[in-house]
A and B are shown apart, each in its own frame.
Chain A
Amino acid sequence: AQSVAQPEDQVNVAEGNPLTVKCTYSVSGNPYLFWYVQYPNRGLQFLLKYITGDNLVKGSYGFEAEFNKSQTSFHLKKPSALVSDSALYFCAVRDMGYGQNFVFGPGTRLSVLP
């Protein structure tokens, strides 16, 4: 069965500093990996995905993620954090069985301090 781990419940970073939100996964076969962000009282917003190709994926709002097959990781990064980036971040993998639903990690709360 597919699974996703986000080892940090909370990440704090100062505005203007680089940020990293960690994600590791366990899948059978090639992974389809996604990052979503959730702001308070809102649904999930798509940030970026890795399907195949270049290991560095660029997405919305200046975010990027690095796929590392040997470490089974897909860490989310941004070179310079903004206070408005403060939100809940979810890493997800597609379950390639029937329905191909998302399997989400538990989420990491990012706080960017001014």
Chain B
Amino acid sequence: DADVTQTPRNRITKTGKRIMLECSQTKGHDRMYWYRQDPGLGLRLIYYSFDVKDINKGEISDGYSVSRQAQAKFSLSLESAIPNQTALYFCATSDQTGEYYGYTFGSGTRLTVV
């Protein structure tokens, strides 16, 4: 089984719909992150959480919300999806520093908003 599992892998949704992307991990890491990846823009941080009671906005949090249901679960919601939220979304985890062993990424969710 993958260390970081994202569901769904692909999703097409309509403008204005609410959608949730889910992430679970078996790494035992406290820290979890949501990134989006767009061609030419690289990975950009949406939200991050250093433990269950800690949620922080990243550089592009507008239009998104998150929930850390447990140490192993971190979900990302788009309350009212819009076409420019079409992107590849990645969940990642790290240990306390994220420095020595890097981040562990899931395989991503490709989201299309039509």
A associates with B: no
Binding site for A on B (CB under 8 A): none
Binding site for B on A (CB under 8 A): none
